[in-house]
Amino acid sequence: MLKVTNLHAEVDGKEILKGLSLEVPAGEVHAIMGPNGAGKSTLSYVLTGRDGYEVTGGTATLDGEDLLALAPDVRAARGVFLSFQYPLEIPGVPALTFIRTALNAQRRARGEAEITAPAFLKLAREKAQALKIDFDMLKRALNVGFSGGEKKRMEILQMAMLSPRFLILDETDSGLDIDALRIVSDGVNALRGPDRAMLVITHYQRLLDYIKPDRVHVLAGGRIVASGGPELAHELEANGYERYEQAA
Amino acid sequence: MAAVTQTVEQVAGLEKYKHGFVTDIEQDFAPKGLNADIVRFISAKKNEPEWMLAWRLDAFERWLAMDEPDWAKVNFPKIDYQDSYYYAAPKEKVGINSLDEVDPDILETYKKLGIPLREQEVLAGVIGSPRYAVDAVFDSVSVVTTFKKELAQVGVIFCSMSEAIREHPELVRKYLGTVVPVSDNYFACLNAAVFSDGSFVYVPPGVRCPMELSTYFRINAENSGQFERTLIIADKGAYVSYLEGCTAPMRDENQLHAAVVELITLDDAEIKYSTVQNWYPGDPETGKGGIYNFVTKRADCRGDRSKVSWTQVETGSAITWKYPSCVLRGEGSSGEFYSIAITNGRQQADTGTKMIHLGANTRSRIIAKGISAGRSSNTYRGLVSAHPKAKGARNFTQCDSLLIGKQCAAHTVPYIEARNGQAKFEHEATTTRLSEDQLFYVMQRGLSQEEAVQLLVNGFVKDVLQELPMEFAVEAQKLVAISLEGSVG
């Protein structure tokens, strides 16, 4: 699925990713952990094509296709989805309208027919219910006046509706209480499958109790400095990142 | 490169004005320049009665003594009023009785603009779509007005101003210039002297006008100004919804459009007036050409409980200078102003409204959305005032500006005057920049950059778009999108 090789990237002329390599096969969930400033969010933005994040070397492919050559919206249509650490407010655009516009844009890009209004509403009701989102909330402008937890749930709802193949969760646990964490994690776990892969970016081990990773990677100083099974997350929780930062 | 820093280059390369063509037809012109003889010429061309000519000449005398105002936040070279034609009309015009007599080139022009002039074309439209009657003004004259007979059956008069002066002098004399007096301001006074055509509407007591009325203004001739004058009267308990649209060819010279619109509502009457203004905005890079849109629009809510609602979508013109206003004279009368003003390229807009509360318990509401892109300047200028007798007057104003790119400007200049202790005015204002964060978020969900800008902008202007008559709201939404095409790199 995703293959990143010796990736270098800079922001405002400062190199943040310094030769990062990573492979996430289909069907697997990989966690990326690391200290502040290690380049975790930069990795998510580089993979999704944000302006201002300049790739200076290396490659990133999705099922063999060069991701870095594609515009952000084309990557989205290919099935790359980023659940934002800080979801944006979109005034005047109801959540339902927003999701339907996005879904249809993606379907058009893939040469598929647009979803019909009844089919869309049915799907939205079903997914909202699973995430315990009041359907009326979907008629309000997306994320405007929503709490931190509501915004995160809205991200997962979008994810469920858009049905991406490669999912990046950036600090999805931040700002969530324990109940919300469970609901969100259930939503994410429901999307696990043999045709999908996930990259879960987090500071803390806590989220990984709910979304169990197949592999854990430590990102420090712009590179993956250690990889291991789920036990690595527990080790990090106990001993911190210090020795990895020194290694970097 | 960051997305919004490419704005200027992108805007410069665009050819986005879609109504910029010229119709090649034979036209009658008045000699170039402006003097009392030109005023007489215009009046004679229109077979006007003596009283109308006297009114015009009086206006012209007063105009000569006035100075062009300079307080608006717009910059332009001094206008040479002698270097323009004040009358341009398609030949063989007089006495047209049916559409078949209208110059086919003109019909073709309106067809290209998407304005159906043949009633059967309107009727042949989508089943169930509301019909609307059109008055088509081509340069200085009204070429045709549709659905007149059907409207006449319920007593509604909808015709060109020239026709109204000839056929309904009693109504014209009673109301003309009573809302915008002859010497109200420099441009209104010029209009009073040389106004060419425009629409006249009278809705009799208790009648709800059975269809949308609309006027479509087209400036075609070179070096000519358009000075239309529109007068709408809703008698007691009457209702009418009216829409005007405007376009012009792309020309390197600036052209002056100095219109006057007067609305009058008597007791319990209501007028809804919508404008979709898309005059040629000039070259986005050099700022060359484009229409100077200096317009005076005012409503007099004369009757108790009467209501006027202005909705405007302003996307065109090199310079826009207009303040559709309401004089809330009748007790319990109300005024509304919903505005979307978009400037791109080198456009300048200074627009807003005045809500003058004279009567007790009068209410007003202002929702103004300004969007600036490119190297444009967009100013909201508004006045809300309550006079000593306007006890219990209420106003709510919301004024939002959206900036796209780093070289545009937005200004907000609200004036608020309460001359009694029982008026309640609220004013909210915001200025935001279309953020790269938002754009990226939307694009990450699968929308292209153009689509993302459209979505965000449509969200921003939604409160106003929903005030437009439904069949025009879709058009307006498209227009908003076209106006901002390429505004983000």
Spatial CA neighbour of B196 closest among B94, B47, B106, B87:
B87
Q: Nearest-CA residue of chain A relative to B448?
A: A73
Interval A45-63 mean pLDDT? 96
| Beta-carbon contacts below 8 Å between A and B | 80
| Candidates A44, A50, A157, partner chain B, best to mutate (most B CBs within 10 A) | A50
State phi, psi for B413 to the nearest 5 degrees. Answer: -125, 80
d(CA B220, CA B85): 12
**Any residues with CB less than 8 A from the CB of B56 and at least 6 apart, and which?**
B39, B42, B43, B192, B193, B194, B195
- B407 at interface of A, judged by CB pairs closer than 8 A: no
Q: Is there a contact between B459 and A141 if contact means CB atoms under 8 Å apart? A: yes
Helix (H) or strand (E) holding B81: none
pLDDT for residue B96: 52
Q: Which of A3-7, A73-77, B271-275 has the lowest mean pLDDT?
A: B271-275
| Candidates B4, B10, B443, partner chain A, best to mutate (most A CBs within 10 A) | B443
Q: Which chain A residues are within 8 Å of B451, Cβ to Cβ?
A: 73, 101, 105
Q: In Å, how far are B50, B66, B177 from B181, measured between CA atoms?
A: 19, 14, 5
pLDDT for residue A169: 96
Report pLDDT digits (tens) over B107-165. 666 666 665 555 544 443 333 444 566 677 666 566 667 777 888 889 999 988 888 99
Q: Which of A50, A102, A141 sits opposite B445 (nearest CB)?
A: A102
d(CA B138, CA B49): 23
Helix axes B449-465, B436-444, angle to 10 degrees: 110
Q: Give the dihedral of Cα atoms A204, A209, A210, A216; nearest 10 deg.
A: 70
Measured in angstroms, the CA of B456 and the nearest CA of chain A are apart by: 7
Q: Which chain B residues are within 8 Å of A11, Cβ to Cβ?
A: none
Q: Which chain B residues are within 8 Å of A105, Cβ to Cβ?
A: 445-448, 451
Measured in angstroms, the CA of B462 and the nearest CA of chain A are apart by: 6
Residue A11: band (very low, low, confident or very high) from pLDDT cuts 50, 70, 90: very high
Interval A79-83 mean pLDDT? 98
Q: Which of B3, B438, B461 sits opposite A90 (nearest CB)?
A: B438
The answer, yes or no, to whether residue B9 has pLDDT greater than 50, is no
d(CA B177, CA B231): 9
Measured in angstroms, the CA of B446 and the nearest CA of chain A are apart by: 4
Average pLDDT, chain A: 93
Q: Is there a contact between B446 and A103 if contact means CB atoms under 8 Å apart? A: yes
Interval A66-74 mean pLDDT? 96
Interval A71-91 mean pLDDT? 96
The answer, yes or no, to whether residue B11 has pLDDT greater than 60, is no
Measured in angstroms, the CA of A110 and the nearest CA of chain B are apart by: 11
Report pLDDT digits (tens) over B432-468. 888 889 999 999 999 998 899 889 988 988 888 888 7
Q: Which chain A residues are within 8 Å of B446, Cβ to Cβ?
A: 73, 76-77, 102-103, 105-106, 109, 162
Q: Which chain B residues are within 8 Å of A162, Cβ to Cβ?
A: 445-446
Q: Is there a contact between A93 and B455 if contact means CB atoms under 8 Å apart? A: yes
What percentage of chain B exceeds 90 in pLDDT? 39
d(CA A136, CA A150): 13
Q: Is there a contact between B459 and A92 if contact means CB atoms under 8 Å apart? A: yes
Spatial CA neighbour of B284 closest among B380, B400, B402, B407:
B407
| Candidates B369, B445, B466, partner chain A, best to mutate (most A CBs within 10 A) | B445
Tokens of A87: 């979801």
Q: Is there a contact between A92 and B1 if contact means CB atoms under 8 Å apart? A: no
The answer, yes or no, to whether residue B291 has pLDDT greater than 60, is yes
What percentage of chain B exceeds 70 in pLDDT? 78
Report pLDDT digits (tens) over B86-112. 777 666 544 455 566 666 666 666 666
Higher pLDDT, B431 or B96: B431
Residue A48: band (very low, low, confident or very high) from pLDDT cuts 50, 70, 90: very high
Report pLDDT digits (tens) over B243-289. 887 666 666 667 788 899 999 999 999 999 988 877 777 777 777 77
**Can you tell me which residue has the tokens 């009844």?**
A118
DSSP string, B149-194: HHHHHTT-EEEEHHHHHHH-HHHHHHHTTSSS-TTSSHHHHHHHHH
Spatial CA neighbour of A17 closest among A67, A75, A57:
A57
Q: Which chain B residues are within 8 Å of A81, Cβ to Cβ?
A: 444
Q: Give the dihedral of Cα atoms B268, B272, B273, B274; nearest 10 deg.
A: 170
Q: What is the DSSP letter of B6?
A: G
Spatial CA neighbour of A208 closest among A172, A179, A238:
A172
Tokens of A28: 């697997």
CA pseudo-torsion sign B468, B469, B474, B480:
negative
Higher pLDDT, B29 or B45: B45
The answer, yes or no, to whether residue B17 has pLDDT greater than 60, is yes
Higher pLDDT, A246 or B459: B459
DSSP string, A68-98: GGS-HHHHHHHTEEEE-SSPPP-TT-BHHHH
Q: Which chain A residues are within 8 Å of B437, Cβ to Cβ?
A: 88
Q: What is the DSSP letter of A113?
A: P
Beta bridge partners of B133: B213
Domain ranges of chain A: 2-92+164-247
Q: Which chain A residues are within 8 Å of B443, Cβ to Cβ?
A: 71-73, 76
| Candidates A42, A45, A51, A98, partner chain B, best to mutate (most B CBs within 10 A) | A51
Q: Is B116 left (phi over 0), alpha (psi -120 to 50) or beta?
A: beta
Q: Which chain A residues are within 8 Å of B431, Cβ to Cβ?
A: none
Q: Which of A76-90, A204-218, B10-24, B64-78 has the lowest mean pLDDT?
A: B10-24
pLDDT for residue B480: 76
Q: Which of B440, B448, B451 sits opposite A51 (nearest CB)?
A: B440
Report pLDDT digits (tens) over B183-218. 899 999 999 999 988 889 999 999 999 888 888 776
Q: What is the DSSP letter of B73?
A: S
Residues of chain A that touch chain B, judged by Cβ-Cβ distance less than 8 Å: 48, 50-52, 71-73, 76-77, 81-82, 84, 87-93, 98-99, 101-103, 105-106, 109, 141, 158, 162
**Any residues with CB less than 8 A from the CB of B96 and at least 6 apart, and which?**
B102, B143, B144
d(CA A47, CA A170): 12
Q: Is there a contact between B446 and A106 if contact means CB atoms under 8 Å apart? A: yes
d(CA A84, CA A91): 17
Query: Which of A204-208, B275-279, B327-331, B404-408 has maximum average pLDDT?
Result: B327-331
Q: Are B207 and B157 in contact (CB under 8 A)?
A: no
**Any residues with CB less than 8 A from the CB of B474 and at least 6 apart, and which?**
none
Tokens of B207: 């009648």
Tokens of B310: 């202005």
Cβ-based neighbour number of residue B16 at 10 Å: 16
Q: Is there a contact between B463 and A102 if contact means CB atoms under 8 Å apart? A: no
pLDDT for residue B425: 94
Question: Could you give the ipTM of this predicted complex?
Answer: 0.96
Q: Which chain A residues are within 8 Å of B462, Cβ to Cβ?
A: 92-93
- B92 at interface of A, judged by CB pairs closer than 8 A: no
- B238 at interface of A, judged by CB pairs closer than 8 A: no
Average pLDDT, chain B: 82
Higher pLDDT, B239 or B42: B239
Q: What is the DSSP letter of A241?
A: S
What CATH number labels A2-92+164-247? 3.40.50.300
HSE-CB for B452 with a 13 A CA cutoff: 24
Domain ranges of chain B: 2-483
- B416 at interface of A, judged by CB pairs closer than 8 A: no
